[in-house]
Amino acid sequence: MAQEIGFIGTGAMGLPMAMNLLEAGFSLRVYNRTASKLDPLIARGAAAVASPADCAIPGGIVMSMVADDRALEEIVVGNGKDSIADRLRPGGVHVSASTVAPATTERLAAYHHARGSDMLAAPVFGRPPQARARQLWICLSGTPRAKERVATVLQAVGRGTFDFGERTGAANVAKLAGNFLLVSAIEAIAEAMAMVEKAGVDREHTAGMLTQTLFACPAYQNYGRAIARKDHSEIGFRMALGLKDVELMLATAGALRAPMPLASLLRDRLLAGLAKGRADFDWSALGLGVLEDAGLPISGRNPADGERN
């Protein structure tokens, strides 16, 4: 009989992750706030349930991929009587793949621990195409026994795992550090392309040269192409979620007395984008603000709206 696990949150990232679990032979109990997004999984044999708590069985495994700290707390704590932490009971494991504050993860891990279950932080690097191709990189932290228990689950959704030890929030710190570098790269590329355009030099040719030589890595290549073409039509990560992550970076750094002045600039850039109605654009569209500052046209391919979890 296939091992049964629960999966909560089937948005742009969660859906392909859950699909990969089904293809790997797991039996899934699935929940999403928008029930219609479960249809592709139901068609492949997953069982839809009425609440997040219904994804959990005593001693079982639940994986979640939800939008933010508040959503994660709701599924872990619920009404204090009927949540995944209460349903998992001793021996159960909750794998949280969401990008949230380290402090949130540690607090919710303590809530799980008080009820006998374990919580692992397992945030991922990658966009929906990488999730579909099982090419996600996973940051992992939590108890060794829980990691051993979910090893085959993680192998089914990612290409590799980096273990950050037993402190549950450690993986979240690493994920925020990575997202900070990504959004910093987006700002840097956008500023460079604005200068290039104002000088009358071809944006795409310049970006192509730079990303084949000095910056030959996926982040610069993918974002460089989108920004050079002013094409933000593919929604990989919504600007609203980018702002959420930058605010988490600043809150975490502030608690540690670690100044991040560039993160403050990025927060304002993203906040301005939301104020201009771009919350559901890909976060690479923060480059539109750079164009506006430089007095350049922002015409290009942009979405009317994006996909919500």
Question: Residue 308 in contact with residue 11, Cβ under 8 Å?
Answer: yes
Q: Region 110-122: what's the mean pLDDT?
A: 96
Tell me the three state secondary structure of residue 12.
Answer: coil
Give 282's strand partners.
Answer: 238
Residue 144 has pLDDT above 80, yes or no: yes
179 and 128 share a domain?
no
Residue 81 has pLDDT above 90, yes or no: no
Cα–chain-centroid distance for residue 184? 17
Tell me the three state secondary structure of residue 134.
Answer: coil
18 and 107 share a domain?
yes
183 and 162 share a domain?
no
185 and 101 share a domain?
no
Question: Residue 168 in contact with residue 104, Cβ under 8 Å?
Answer: no
149 and 8 share a domain?
yes
The strand order across the sheet containing 118-121 reads: 47-48, 27-31, 4-8, 61-64, 93-96, 118-121
160 and 194 share a domain?
no
List, for residues 209-232, the tens digit of each pLDDT value. Answer: 999 999 999 999 999 999 999 999
154 and 229 share a domain?
no
Full domain range(s) for residue 40: 4-167
Question: Shortest CA distance to 239 belongs to which of 282, 300, 298?
Answer: 282
Which of 70-74, 75-79, 198-202, 279-283 has the weakest average pLDDT?
75-79
For position 304, what pLDDT does the model report? 52
How would you class 110 by CB atoms within 10 Å of its CB: exposed for 0-12, middle for 13-18, buried for 19 or more? exposed
Domain boundary among 145, 167, 189: 167
23 and 161 share a domain?
yes
156 and 282 share a domain?
no
Q: Please report where in the chains the tokens 């392909």 appear, as a residue.
A: 16
Percentage above 90 pLDDT, the chain: 92
Domain assignment of residue 303, yes or no: no
Residue 268 has pLDDT above 70, yes or no: yes
For position 13, what pLDDT does the model report? 96
Instruction: Grade residue 2 by pLDDT with cuts at 50, 70 and 90.
Output: confident
Type of residue numbered 274:
L
273 and 236 share a domain?
yes
Question: Residue 36 in contact with residue 10, Cβ under 8 Å?
Answer: no
Domain assignment of residue 306, yes or no: no
Residue 56 makes CB contacts below 8 A (sequence gap 6+) with 6, 62, 84, 87, 88, 92, 94
Domain assignment of residue 186, yes or no: yes
Q: Region 131-151: what's the mean pLDDT?
A: 97
32 and 177 share a domain?
no
Instruction: Grade residue 34 by pLDDT with cuts at 50, 70 and 90.
Output: very high
Domain boundary among 122, 139, 167: 167
Q: Does an H or E element contain 290, and which?
A: helix 287-293
Two tokens, residue 275: 């104020």
Q: How many domains does the chain have?
A: 2
For position 1, what pLDDT does the model report? 60
Instruction: Grade residue 173 by pLDDT with cuts at 50, 70 and 90.
Output: very high
Instruction: Grade residue 234 by pLDDT with cuts at 50, 70 and 90.
Output: confident
Domain assignment of residue 305, yes or no: no
Q: What is the CATH number of the domain that holds 109?
A: 3.40.50.720
For position 112, what pLDDT does the model report? 96
**Any idea which residues carry the catalytic annotation?**
175
Residue 266 has pLDDT above 50, yes or no: yes
Length of the chain: 309
162 and 200 share a domain?
no
Q: What is the CATH number of the domain that holds 264?
A: 1.10.1040.10
Residue 305 has pLDDT above 50, yes or no: no
